[in-house]
Amino acid sequence: MLPDSIGEEEEQERQEISIRQMDIDDVAAVYHLGEHLFTSEELPILYRTWDAYEVADYFTSDPDYCLVAEIGGRVVGFILATTFEKEGTAWKKYGYVSWIGVDEAFQGSNLARRLYARLEDKLEDHGVRMIIADTEGDNEKAIGFFKKMGFSARSQHVWLAKTLQRPGRPAPPKRGARGRLAARLKKAGSKGDAD
């Protein structure tokens, strides 16, 4: 039977999406989907940390918390998480949602919500009492999603970055008054050496 409209066809496709535990054959598909979603233009910090080793590490260390959404043999979404224990705290066992991604064609279909709900059930079954997630402070879409899932903003944190100089390359010129003074002294020193 053919669907009556495009909307009905899309609904049938959504219903055919299955969520299951990730297996070894999914690692490449998850990596490539994340590579497409976490671009340097959109998410510069995530882009720098997303790599095949990240996917493989979660899969080998905590496979119970690596889920994929699949339709017709194609991975269209994933969620990667882990757990950790911290003695002396009220909750003791925590869950940490590290990555969640949904193919752009399926965004807005509640697929991320379904992936998260399945993960939360697994975490709760394994004794987790608190789930943590983090995202960039200006990623309103992710913040909105997590708030809809019942998360609350506990605190803000700032990512700091420092680019280290490669050996054998000159340091970039310093800016500001100190940089100008250093440049003048260096220039004056080299003039004195020539005399």
Q: Domains, the chain, ranges and CATH? A: 14-148 (3.40.630.30)
Give the model's pLDDT for residue 185: 53
Backbone angles phi, psi at 56, to 5 degrees: -60, -40
**Helices of type H across the chain:** 6-15, 27-37, 44-49, 52-61, 111-125, 140-148, 176-194
The per-residue pLDDT of the chain, averaged, comes to: 81
Residue 179's pLDDT band (cuts 50, 70, 90) = low
The Cα 120–Cα 65 span in angstroms is: 9
CA 56 → CA 33, 61, 122, 123, 161, distances in Å? 14, 8, 20, 20, 25
Residue 77 has pLDDT above 50, yes or no: yes
The Cα 100–Cα 142 span in angstroms is: 9
Q: pLDDT (tens digit, 9 = 90+) per residue, 121-159?
A: 999 999 999 999 988 777 888 889 999 999 988 777 676
**Helices of type H across 71-175:** 111-125, 140-148
- One-letter amino acid for residue 146 of the chain: F
The Cα 75–Cα 55 span in angstroms is: 14
Give the model's pLDDT for residue 128: 95
Residue 1 has pLDDT above 70, yes or no: no
Residue 169's pLDDT band (cuts 50, 70, 90) = low
The Cα 189–Cα 183 span in angstroms is: 10
- One-letter amino acid for residue 37 of the chain: L
What is the model's pTM? 0.72
Task: Tell me, letter by letter, the H, E, C secondary structure of 85-106.
Answer: ECCCCCCCEEEEEEEEEECHHH
